[in-house]
Amino acid sequence: MYPTVLFLCAVSLAVGALGEHVCPQPPNVPFAEVDIDKRVYERGEEITYSCVPGYSHHSGSRKYTCPWSGKWPLATMRCIPKKCPYPGSLNNGKVHFTDLSYQSLISFSCEPGYILYGTNTSQCMADGQWSKTVPECQPVTCPPPSIPELGVISYHKLSPGNVSVFQDLIRFECLSTFALFGNETATCMASGNWSDIPECKFVQCPHPTGIENGFINIAVRRTYHYMETVDYGCHHPYVLDGPRESRCEKTSSWSIKPTCKAPCKIPVKRATVLYNGQKIKVQNDLKEGIQHTETISFFCKNKEKQCGYPVPTQCIDGHLTVPSCFKEIGSFQSFWKTDPADMRPCDA
């Protein structure tokens, strides 16, 4: 009896010793799983870790063997999220994201004047690809514009086709004798509406009036319409100052009329002056004076240097001022006094 009991005890101890040297479930590796999932593993049995979908092997060993000690070695394997490629830019829009890893979301938006066609979000999937393709930002469209009565329009389009889109431009013109009130152009706006459309209105101006010392060239008629013009002229020896034409404007009034300016008599009897680059005698060549805005120069004497210098003065509507330094030499004084015009130039 005793040998049998001793044998059974020995077998029990051997089985217990062997049971202590099996391996338990392997250590958990974040975002990974083992190929053989059991409660215990025999010594020498091998397991292999693999990353779950959406993650990829980054570092560390993937394979481990249950050792005789029954304790799994330290698992060094590391799994990291897969990356999706950069989705690219969105024409006339923006791509919003903080990360491109597995399960990350990106969103799309369009700039003002454009509408998003397609999804507004996309997610990075387990295969490293985006769930949805990048959408498109297409321009807002505007309805056909209203054409002003008695007007015409012309288009300046950014893209071909019959549809008007964001930032397309139209230009307005009115038929003859009608004036445009408002902007000459309208733009297709981000709201899908056109900016303000102008109006074409009939414009009539009163009968034009004449000018003093002048005349007006007009046809005998009762009415004058927008943009029609009349010509003015001056009686001799007056000269025209301002535009020759006056135009009927959209305000139903005429544009600025010219005026007739008077010539200037030279208020001296005898003098040599500089006129149009030449020295001439007032008493001989300028009996009629000079016209409005014309300039002559009187010669003055520098007593210290005994030289002569010209001083210009201009005719302004019949008024001409003789320089104070000018001294008129009478015919009798000319026998012993030298005219400054004949003296050595002071700047020589």
Beta-carbon count within 10 A of 244 CB? 12
The per-residue pLDDT string of the chain (348 residues; one tens digit each, 9 = 90 and over) reads 444 444 334 434 433 444 567 999 999 999 999 999 899 999 999 999 999 999 999 999 999 999 999 999 999 999 999 999 999 899 999 999 999 999 999 999 999 999 999 999 999 999 999 999 999 999 999 999 888 888 888 887 777 778 899 999 999 999 888 999 999 999 999 999 999 999 999 999 998 999 999 999 876 667 889 999 999 999 999 999 999 999 999 999 999 999 999 999 999 999 999 999 999 999 999 999 999 999 999 999 999 999 999 999 999 999 999 999 999 888 767 677 889 999 999 986
Q: Is the CB of residue 283 less than 8 Å from the CB of residue 276?
A: no
Residue 222 CB contacts under 8 Å (≥ 6 apart), including other chains: 207
Report the distance separating Cα 72 and Cα 63, nearest Å.
Answer: 11
Q: Is the CB of residue 153 less than 8 Å from the CB of residue 168?
A: no
The residue to which tokens 């009927």 are assigned: 248
pTM (2 d.p.): 0.61
Report the distance separating Cα 76 and Cα 97, nearest Å.
Answer: 32
Q: Which two tokens stand for residue 264?
A: 């200037």
The pLDDT, as a whole number, for residue 149 is: 84
Question: What percent of the chain is helix, strand and coil (3-state, nearest 5)?
Answer: 10, 40, 55
Beta-carbon count within 10 A of 318 CB? 13
Q: Which amino acid is at 142?
A: C
The pLDDT, as a whole number, for residue 172 is: 92
Q: Please give the domain boundaries of the chain with CATH numbers for all domains.
A: 22-81 (2.10.70.10), 93-139 (2.10.70.10), 141-202 (2.10.70.10), 204-261 (2.10.70.10), 272-342 (2.10.70.10)
What DSSP element (H or E) covers 153?
strand 151-156
Report the distance separating Cα 30 and Cα 25, nearest Å.
Answer: 15
Q: Is the CB of residue 199 less than 8 Å from the CB of residue 182?
A: yes
